[in-house]
Amino acid sequence: MEPGFRVHAERTPNPDSIKWVLGRPIVAPGVAVHFDAAPAASVSPLAARLFEIDGIVGVFLASNFVTVTRRTDVEWTDLAQPVVERLRASFAEGVDALGPAFEPGQTHDEDVLVARIREVLDEEVRPALAMDGGDVEFVAFRDGIVVVSMRGACSGCPSSVATLEHGIGARLRECIPEVRGVVAA
């Protein structure tokens, strides 16, 4: 077992997701990846191992935490110990969170407006959502509407509609007058 390995669980606003905070970074700064299905071990060895646990339907990797989402018919009391055991074993064995086949989203030339939207999301919104075990990813900007994808604990969270409209939408409209609204992809 890795010396000094630390992990603790934090509840999120989504009752089907728990944020497992680790004592060290697991991905590069600014990287956040959500899996809705088991990836190949070459893409994410850690996520592949977590999906082997019956009842896991989502794994989100970011900074120094892993948010795990369960099926609604499975209890956290049945999942918590297997999740911790997989995390401990993975780090003790030196398993990487992301493997050699992982390819981050490619950034294309963006106009100034889209760059500003991304900046607000990255610097203001994403850190706030990460505190609850979630994230938001920019998808598109069309006709004044920002399209985002809610990830981690935010995906399927009962509060996500309010977060989207009153949190993300309000902040983007305040900072960027061209933004008329925000919708989930």
pLDDT at residue 2 greater than cutoff 80: no
Mean pLDDT of 56-74: 94
The domain 7-92 belongs to what CATH superfamily?
Scaffold protein Nfu/NifU, N-terminal domain (3.30.1370.70)
Give the count of alpha carbons within 13 A of 130, CB side only: 20
pLDDT-derived band at 106, boundaries 50, 70, 90:
very low
Tell me whether residue 12 is exposed, middle or buried, using C-beta atoms within 10 angstroms of its C-beta: 0 to 12, 13 to 18, 19 or more.
buried
- pLDDT of 63 reads 87
Tokens 């509060």 identify what position? 159
Q: What angle do CA 155, 160, 162 make, to 5 degrees?
A: 170
Q: Does residue 93 surpass a pLDDT of 50?
A: yes
* pLDDT for residue 30: 76
Q: Look at residues 133, 67, 98, 26 and name the one whose alpha carbon lies nearest to residue 58.
A: 67
115-167, pLDDT tens digit by residue?
889 989 999 999 999 998 999 999 999 888 999 999 999 888 888 888 898 89
Q: How many CB atoms lie within 10 A of CB 20?
A: 19
Residue range(s) occupied by CATH 3.30.1370.70 in the chain: 7-92
- At residue 109, the pLDDT reads 36
Q: Rounded to the nearest 10 degrees, how much is the dihedral formed by the CA atoms of 155, 159, 164, 166?
A: -170
112-184 placed in CATH 3.30.300.130: yes
- pTM for the whole thing? 0.70
Of 83-87, 106-110, 154-158, the range with the highest mean pLDDT is: 83-87
pLDDT, average across residues 16-40: 90
For the ranges 45-49, 82-86, 139-143, the lowest mean pLDDT is seen at 139-143
For residue 4, name the pLDDT band (cuts at 50, 70, 90). low
Residue 28 has pLDDT above 70, yes or no: yes
Nearest to 184 by CA among 159, 174, 80: 159
Question: CATH 3.30.300.130 occupies which residues in the chain?
Answer: 112-184
- Amino acid 1: pLDDT: 42
